[in-house]
């Protein structure tokens, strides 16, 4: 069994925040793969289902971001999982919007949700880093992550959440590259190699072949003209 955790803050006030992109991804996975209705458990909201034959529990902690580890640790211990069975989807300031990366273990880079998880289960879990971009200065980070995605970002945000759902089975199977490929097919679809011919390109006009001239001279005129020449 595996535990897929989406990070965010509970409540309608935070629903569309950049900090809640982890919630958005696990919501899409639940919808796309027919998971059970969400219910309250482990200090969070949980939904269960199967991904490619692998039993997976989705978790959205209700403890607020900086206490996420309490919920994750409780669920992990209940099902006797190891940290390696846990995958955390979280917002990533150091990646450009729409970029997604998979990482195993490592530091928390100042992310409050990851810091809390580190305190409760250690660092040896898998992370799916969901790029949201950086506001440009560290003093603006708090207000930036707690602000809603702009309307202009709706397109790439939809591509990322759907792409993660598309590749969820591969992620559950431990195939990070195939998961990322599924995301890329949404966020950066391949372009056709065939170059289209411009529709307004005029076709070359056909030049009519001149008709051969017909010699109407009589035999005597031809003979006379020959001697004149």
Surface-to-core class of residue 90, CB atoms within 10 Å of its CB (0-12 exposed, 13-18 middle, 19+ buried): buried
For the entire predicted model, the pTM comes to 0.82
Q: Rounded CA gap, 60 and 27, in Å?
A: 9
| pLDDT value, residue 196 | 46
Phi, psi of 51 (to 5 degrees): -125, 105
Q: Name the superfamily (CATH) of residues 2-187.
A: Peptidyl-tRNA hydrolase (3.40.50.1470)
| pLDDT value, residue 221 | 67
What DSSP line would sit under 45-58, residue for residue? EEEEEEETTEEEEE
Quick: pLDDT tens for 170-209: 999 999 999 999 999 999 876 554 544 455 555 555 555 5
Query: Which of 19, 33, 90, 111 does the annotation list as catalytic?
Result: 19
Structure tokens belonging to residue 143 = 């207000």
Closest CA to 115 of 42, 61, 66: 66
How many residues can be counted in the chain?
Answer: 229
Closest CA to 33 of 183, 150, 162: 162
Q: Quote the mean pLDDT of the chain.
A: 89
- Per-residue confidence band for 219, with pLDDT thresholds at 50, 70 and 90: low
Query: For this structure, is 19 an active site residue?
Result: yes
CB within 8 Å of 204: residues ≥ 6 apart: none
Quick: pLDDT tens for 40-58: 999 999 999 999 999 999 9
What separation in angstroms does the CA of 103 have from each of 89, 115, 130, 162, 226?
11, 15, 11, 20, 97
- Whether the pLDDT of residue 226 is over 50: the answer is yes
3-state helix, strand, coil in the chain (%, to 5): 40, 20, 40
């Amino acid at each position: 069994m595996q535990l897929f955790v989406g990070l965010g803050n509970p409540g309608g006030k935070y629903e569309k925040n950049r900090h809640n992109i982890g919630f958005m991804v696990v919501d899409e996975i639940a919808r796309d793969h027919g998971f059970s209705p969400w219910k309250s458990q482990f200090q969070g909201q949980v939904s269960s289902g199967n991904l490619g034959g692998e039993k997976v529990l989705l978790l959205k902690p209700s403890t607020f971001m900086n206490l996420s580890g309490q919920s994750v640790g409780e669920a992990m211990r209940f099902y006797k999982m190891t940290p390696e069975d846990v995958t955390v989807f979280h917002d990533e300031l150091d990646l450009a919007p729409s970029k997604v990366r998979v990482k195993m273990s490592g530091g928390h880079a100042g992310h409050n949700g990851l810091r809390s998880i580190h305190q409760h289960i250690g660092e040896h879990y898998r992370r799916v880093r969901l790029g949201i971009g950086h506001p440009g200065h560290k003093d603006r980070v708090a207000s930036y992550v707690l602000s809603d995605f702009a309307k202009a970002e709706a397109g790439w945000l939809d591509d990322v959440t759907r792409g993660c759902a598309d590749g969820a089975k591969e992620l559950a199977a431990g195939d990070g590259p195939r998961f990322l490929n599924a995301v890329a097919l949404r966020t950066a679809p391949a372009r056709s190699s065939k170059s289209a011919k411009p529709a307004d390109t005029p076709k070359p006009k056909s030049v009519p072949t001149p008709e051969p001239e017909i010699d109407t001279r009589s035999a005597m005129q031809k003979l006379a003209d020959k001697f004149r020449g």
